[in-house]
Structure 1
Amino acid sequence: MTRDVSAVVYDLDGTLVRLAVDWEAVERGLTELLESEGIDAEPLGSWTLLSAAEDAGIGEEADELIAEAEREGARESSRLPLADELGERDVPVGVCSLNHEDAVEIALEKHDLMGEVGSVVGRGTVPHRKPHPRALLAAVEELGVEAEEVLFVGDSKSDETTAERAGTKFEWV
């Protein structure tokens, strides 16, 4: 990486580790939950299902359904090659993930990465989730640097949008 930055923040799933989550099963569970409340969930996608559950007043139950799958997936996760880079950094490192904070911490611990990370922000850490910039900005603030001095590394268009909205640099994994 050739960029001159004061800190690097990474996405988790698909970037540092691969969570072993059956997202289709999670989506089926969310669909069942919503339909039990009389909401037609058929045309909705995974994260839209969570938003619909929040709108219906059952967001906590839906979030816990997702979080439990993520925690289990974190316990069974596999380490990706980019994770080796964390210990080689000479700037502060953080993680900002759409996954629940508990799952992020479980995955980092499982792969002996927690000691390399100065900030962990996951779903539930702040009231907003990616691509809202607040999650990434919370990680940036905890690292004690300015957003424009940060490189956010991720694997999705949502990560890129988050970086744009937060005013950080972005790099695809």
Structure 2
Amino acid sequence: MTRDDADELAAVVYDLDGTLVRLDVDWEAVDAGLVALLEREGVDTDPLTMWEHLDAAEEAGVGDEADELVAEAEREGAENSRRLELADALTDREIPVGVCSLNHESAVRIALDRHDLTRHVESVVGRGTVPERKPHPRPLLAAIEELGVEPENVLFVGDSASDEKTAERAGTKFEWVE
């Protein structure tokens, strides 16, 4: 990003896990729980990824149960999360700041509270805030709408290809966490 780009920014939206904090979640155990739930429902889970398991659970009619299984692990992981270096930059921003995460909104809020970041964030969108999940643009656009700015004047900062794809689809600038 050039200096000129930075001067025209109206807001910054951050991803959460891997960007501002590191949730203490055993993702393999969470995925195993999702697999067990889906197998109970007779759903073939091979070769699905964890997030695809959530989609399959929704299609099998057990989406709420699956989402709660993941959300519970995320909330516990948020309580024991570790603050990352970029969180300090968030507190120094003079423009509106939001968070858009694939993690459940309740876990995002716990992590922000735990690391004294809540008062620096004006918009929080997590899984469950809107029906769609990243890389669909709707979660990021919901955060941007709440900040009252235009997508083309927003920088989305994240740590994954999914975050980059979300930014592209939403029409924002994107920056990888260093």
Tell me if TM exceeds 0.5. Answer: yes
Shift of 1:42: 2.9
**Residue pair 1:92, 1:118 contacting (<8 A) in 2 also:** yes
Q: Which residue of 1 aligns with 2:13?
A: 9
Q: CA RMSD in A?
A: 0.8
* Cα distance in 1 for residues equivalent to 2:67 and 2:20: 23
1:113 maps to 2:83: no
What number of residue pairs does the alignment pair up?
173
Q: Are 1:72 and 2:72 an aligned pair?
A: no
Q: Report the Cα offset of residue 87 of structure 1.
A: 1.5
Q: Give the deviation of 1:86 after TM superposition.
A: 1.2
Deviation at 1:41, TM superposition (A): 1.1
Contact (CA 8 Å) 1:17, 1:77: kept in 2 or not?
A: yes
One-letter identity of the residue aligned with 1:68: E
Tell me, which stretches of 5 or more residues in structure 2 are unaligned?
Answer: none
- 2:48 and 2:96 map into 1 onto residues whose CA distance is 38
- Alpha-carbon distance in structure 1 between the residues aligned to 2:112 and 2:165: 24
Give the Cα separation in 2 of the matches to 1:154 and 1:87.
17
- 1:88 and 2:92 matched: yes
TM-score, normalising length: structure 1 = 0.98
Report the residue type matching 2:66 in the other structure.
Answer: A
Matches within 5 A, 1:48-59: 48-59=52-63
Match in the other structure for 1:45: 49
Q: Is the 8 A contact 1:31 1:42 kept in 2?
A: no
- C-alpha separation between the residues in 1 aligned to 2:123 and 2:47? 36
* TM-score where L is the length of structure 2: 0.96
Identify the residue that residue 63 of structure 1 maps to in structure 2: 67
CA distance in 2, matches of 1:44, 1:86: 35
What do the CA deviations read for 1:70-115 (whole angstroms, capped 9, x no partner)? 0000000000000001121110000000000000000000000000
2:165 corresponds to which of 161, 165, 168: 161
Task: Say which of 130, 146, 154 aligns to 1:126.
Answer: 130
Q: Aligned ranges for residues 29-40 of structure 1 at < 5 Å?
A: 29-40=33-44
What is the identity percentage for the equivalent residue pairs of Structure 1 and Structure 2? 73
Indicate which of 19, 22, 25 corresponds to 1:21.
25
